[in-house]
Structure 1
Amino acid sequence: MTPETLEVPLPAVTLSCLAWGPADGPLAVLLHGFPDTAWTWRHLGPLLAEQGWRAVAPHTRGYAPSAIPRDGDLHVAALMADAAGVHAALGGDDRAVLVGHDWGAITANALGAHPASPYSRVVTMAVPPLGAMTGNGPFVLARQARMSWYTVFNQLPVLPERTLERLVRHLWAAWSPGYAADEDLEHVLAALREPAHRSAALGYYRAAARPWRVEAAYRDWHRTWTGTPVVPALALHGAQDGCLHPRIAERAGAVLVEGAGHFLQLERPDEVGRLVTGFLTTEPPAS
């Protein structure tokens, strides 16, 4: 199914989005992570559309063809504000759901924890709620520290921008071993071709290390950026993920998807689609 392209103007940025499904269907917003693009949802978007959802996948702020944010803010709180803004701009209602992978998962978990979130449910992939990732032994933590080397590397000035293509190729191969990522790499490298877009994508990591710099407009969102959802939530994780240790994710409540690494929505689209649609069609527990 070929997606539509939507331009969604928000106060600080215009987001270019891929969209599938009927315009009057309940809204499902799909958020990608790093290093990725909205095309990561090319399997789940059409599946949701077949079930009547209006699935909309933004290229998140700073990833072309979306714009560089005018306020320069790349904190999770700004991503939360953008996701809430997409809901408002597209006329979402109380049936709307939010799905996120990687940085998109961090954003979705944070919104799911915030009382002002317009989304009734969240689905996250590859990053469970940050506050739930506790109680892991020293071996697992040491292994994770080695796996997370790139987060420190991305704090350096200039060098990450200059070597970004090499980094992107390496991370896809290391995080999802055996997955043929040619199509995805083409999309990612096109989205990050220009220096300003490269700096923006890397800026997510730099902003996370400097939480005191969040813009005033996003400070209320910021208070739950490491929170655990209070709305119905489903966390999925690849059993062979080379980015975040699967044991950490499992202890945090994630469902492991066998035969998949970090980009599970691409590696096991049928299984991920079954789990997501099953969760979205299940009645919430009585309060």
Structure 2
Amino acid sequence: MTTRLTRFDRGPFTFDVTDAGPADGEPIVLLHGFPQRASCWELVAPTLHHNGFRTLAPDQRGYSPGARPTRRRDYVQGELAADVVALLDAAGIGRAHIVGHDWGAIVGWTVAANHPDRVATLTALSVPHPGAFLRAMPHGQIFRSWYMAAFQVPVLPEKLLGAAMRTQPDFGERMGLPQPFASRVATEIGDSGALPGALGWYRAMFLPDKRSTPRPVRVPTTFVWGDADIAIGPAAARLCSGWVEANYEFIVLPGADHWLPEAHPDDVAAAILARVTDHRTRTGSDATDSTPAHGTDTASPAGGPSAQDSA
């Protein structure tokens, strides 16, 4: 009998997790970004459950009250990825489909690169492979990512963002989040005490960690990007294909901004299901081993730049 998880441990830390859907369903791990929590998946998960999948959505390091270390080095990508492996171990899951948005996508890329034996497929939303992101910096991405440098300043970002969340009722909407998610930012991030840990992800970006070194992934992968995303530009999105040495699909959502799980849940669920279904078709099984194969990149039928376009 499958035991439902509400929490799992890794070392001294305890993480909260939302475990839902059919208990015996094929597992999909849903990884949130910044400033989000597991609740960002609440419009996506029901479709996955309806199709027979079990979802596990953790409040990640810095967000779960029991997992908020104060040292910068505790937030390197290798640690964040190891947390996901600990979740799989706690749930007794050998391999799972991994889905991540924003920073959760970066964690997903890192899990797939470092622990390919634990990943059946990867669906990354909004943020491309870290290697593609870095290579896009000279092609305009640096102007979209200026805030990452600002977040390196100690203490001040927490104070300014925290004050804005408390005093500006439309803070979430100004970020582009739809309701009801926009109104939750203050309570789920600011009031909950999660903001310092959430910023820790950015502050650990430049710390040396061999587990965080960008390397190609070799699991079947879908990358979904909205062409109105102000945080991630087309150069980074198009370069992503060069970092996947397996079947790969690039889906462009015309007119979509950064917040895909909240604003475009049907498109996100469809992309996840298509990736998982393709895996089943190719392997004849569920979340089991598959032989990596170089694939082609596609854009959504509605149009948009293809992954083969030049940056």
After TM superposition, the score normalised by the length of structure 1 is 0.83
Partner of residue 88, structure 1: 89
Provide the secondary structure at the position in 1 that maps to 2:28. Answer: strand
Flag structure 2 segments of 5+ consecutive residues without an equivalent: 242-249, 284-289, 292-311
The equivalent position to 2:256 in structure 1, one of 235, 256, 260, is 260
Task: Give unpaired runs (5+ residues) of structure 1.
Answer: 213-221
CA distance in structure 1 between the partners assigned to 2:184 and 2:251 by the alignment: 28
Q: CA deviation at 1:226?
A: 2.1
Q: Shift in Å at residue 252 of structure 1?
A: 2.0
1:48-67 aligned at under 5 Å gives the runs 48-67=48-67
CA distance in 2, matches of 1:194, 1:5: 25
Aligned mates of 1:71, 1:106 — CA distance in 2: 20
| Other-structure match for 2:228 | 240
Contact 1:75 1:204 in 2 (8 A): yes
8 Å CA contact retained: 2:173, 2:182: no
Distance 1:224 1:154, change over 3 A: closer
Identity across the alignment (%):
31
CA positional deviation for 1:137 = 8.9
Q: Which residue of 1 aligns with 2:13?
A: 13
**Equivalent in the alignment of 1:110:** 110
Contact (CA 8 Å) 2:130, 2:214: kept in 1 or not?
yes
Q: State the number of aligned residues.
A: 268
CA deviation after TM superposition for structure 1 residue 101, in Å: 0.7
Q: Distance in 1 between matches of 2:94 and 2:224?
A: 25
Partner residue of 2:202 out of 201, 205, 215: 205
Q: CA deviation at 1:175?
A: 5.9
User: Does residue 145 of the first structure (1) align with residue 142 of the second (2)?
Assistant: yes
Q: CA deviation at 1:248?
A: 2.2
> In structure 2, which of residues 200, 214, 217 is the aligned counterpart of residue 229 of structure 1?
217
**Quick check: 2:62–2:200 contact (8 Å CA) kept in 1?**
no
* Aligned-partner residue type, residue 21 of structure 1: G
- Letter of the 1:153 partner, please give it: A
**Residue matched to 1:219:** none
Pairwise CA RMSD of aligned residues? 2.8
How has the CA–CA distance of structure 1 residues 114 and 171 changed in structure 2, closer, same or farther, with 3 Å as cutoff? farther
**Distance in structure 2 (CA, Å) of the matches to 1:67 and 1:265:** 24
Q: Is the 8 A contact 1:32 1:103 kept in 2?
A: yes
How far apart are 1:38 and its partner, in Å?
A: 0.8
Query: Residue type of the partner of 2:252?
Result: L
